[in-house]
Amino acid sequence: MDRQNRMAKAHDFTFIETPDRVRYFADQGWLVPVESTRDFVVKGDVSFPYARPEVELFAQRLGRQYRRACGEQLVVTSLTRPANRQPRNASDRSVHPTGMAIDIRYSWDESCRRWLEDVLGSLERQGVLEATLERRPRHYHVAVFPNQYAQYVGRLAARGDSAPEIEEYRVRRGDSLWNIARKHGTTVDELKEFNGIRGSQIFVGQLLDVPLGG
């Protein structure tokens, strides 16, 4: 929480107090709508479906990768919450009132959960967010660091400009990252980077983006 608060202050973010102020921030474009897509769903009881633009980008990117890896939608359970609408058990240091936080439902599918925790852990080590598994109710609280995350995505986009072609590949029984990379003329490291994979495990039915001729 201390690190998240320091990041909020470094970005000069306001801790929004009331619903009216959330709507004002949205009208000014400082917060943007976060709407359900084919890859992720914002639960209907999310009262304020707005966030900083970089958080919306994070939801789009993570949702797409999660659905391709797990075959199910990512579920967003909370976004911006004004200070006077925080739940009773919320920390008084929560950054939800700044719009830089997103809560993600805990999956009871072990492979999906492991994939998500690997990706969040990798992004945390790169200094672009902080992720916590909350217990009551069980969910992942993610504080996205907007400037750092935008720079990270920019670096990936710059690297992607040189990729000649991307092919979708669905993992089959007996596949490994090594043999998929070998068949498509790329490398294991490129496969991991393009698909948000930290370890070496992949799953039958998983859909991968494969950079050809990398």
pLDDT tens-digit profile of 22-77?
Answer: 999 999 999 999 999 999 999 999 999 999 999 999 999 999 889 888 889 999 99
The full set of domains in the chain, from first to last, is 2-149 (3.30.1380), 164-211 (3.10.350.10)
Q: What is the model's pLDDT at position 163?
A: 42
Q: What is the pLDDT confidence band of residue 162, given thresholds at 50, 70 and 90? A: very low
What per-residue confidence (pLDDT) applies to 165?
60
Cα 114 versus chain centre, distance: 14
15 pLDDT exceeds 70? yes
Question: CA-CA distances (angstroms) from residue 191 to 124, 166, 179?
Answer: 20, 11, 11
Residue 213 has pLDDT above 70, yes or no: no
Residues with Cβ within 8 Å of 72's Cβ and at least 6 positions away in sequence, in order, are 66, 107, 109, 112
- Give per-residue pLDDT as tens, 121-142: 889 988 999 999 998 889 999 9
* CA dist 59 → 84, 129, 143, 151 (Å): 25, 13, 12, 16
What's the confidence (pLDDT) of residue 164? 44
Q: Is the pTM of this model over 0.95?
A: no
